Amino acid sequence: MDTPCGLDVSLSIVGGKWKPLILFHLQEGPTRFADVKRRVGGISEKVLIQQLRDLVEMNVLVRRDHQRVPPMVDYSLTPFGRTLVEALIPLCEWGTRNRATVAKLSRSTIDMET
Amino acid sequence: MDTPCGLDVSLSIVGGKWKPLILFHLQEGPTRFADVKRRVGGISEKVLIQQLRDLVEMNVLVRRDHQRVPPMVDYSLTPFGRTLVEALIPLCEWGTRNRATVAKLSRSTIDMET
């Protein structure tokens, strides 16, 4: 079904807890696995590997293995991925700006129900 | 936890299938229940009532009962809701623009796995 709001499409790629954060932290350019992990924070190695793999499969990120010893692998946004990040930023910023307001509203909603 | 991307906050309000569509269709101004239902399309009365109630509770929409017979009730965006819609539009548009590309990528990912 074609709808005027394609948010379902965007969220099929970037939905969930980690992917928006990963993309957010890759804006500066190619980033090594260990640095992604450190910047995102609180994510296990296993989960991060899977999230990165999903984003590579969807052509949002590109993975480069520099064929060195010790191994050096980094991830960067594709041009396609960059368009997604640009579209995502306003909603990220809205959430950050309104975190306290929304928490208060959620609490008062719960209060009304109890 | 405070993160640089507040998408979790935004999606706590506008996540799910219907809410982005409802907000999208309320941009033009106060809209009567029956018109919201018709514009959104494919939504049951029961589900729409619950979605609208959630959005009113979160101060995104305001419900006005015009105290007429027959009843006339309409919904409109609050100033707070309007800021959310503005932040949401780029990600809606990205999804609409890339629906075909994403569908193709999803299919080829499935092909690779089978």
Nearest alpha-carbon partner for B51 in B91, B20, B74: B20
CA distances from A67 to A28, A70, B56 (A): 23, 9, 55
Average pLDDT, chain B: 90
Full set of structural domains in chain B with CATH: 7-113 (1.10.10.10)
- Contact at CB, B87 and A102, closer than 8 angstroms: no
CA A62 to chain centre: 14
ipTM: 0.86
pLDDT at A88: 92
Nearest alpha-carbon partner for A54 in A19, A97, A105: A19
Where do we find the tokens 């890759």?
A: A26
Mean pLDDT of A56-83: 96
List the single residue in B6, B20, B96 with the smallest CB-CB distance to A93: B6
| β-pair partners for B112 | none
pLDDT in tens, B89-113: 999 999 999 999 999 988 887 666 6
pLDDT at A3: 64
pLDDT in tens, A77-113: 999 999 999 999 999 999 999 999 999 998 887 666 6
Using alpha carbons only, give the angle B108, B112, B114 rounded to the nearest 5 degrees.
Answer: 115
pLDDT at A1: 43
Q: Show which residues on chain A lie within 8 Å of chain B, measured between beta carbons.
A: 1-13, 15, 17, 20-21, 24-25, 42, 57-59, 80, 83-84, 86-88, 90-99, 101-102, 105-106, 109, 112
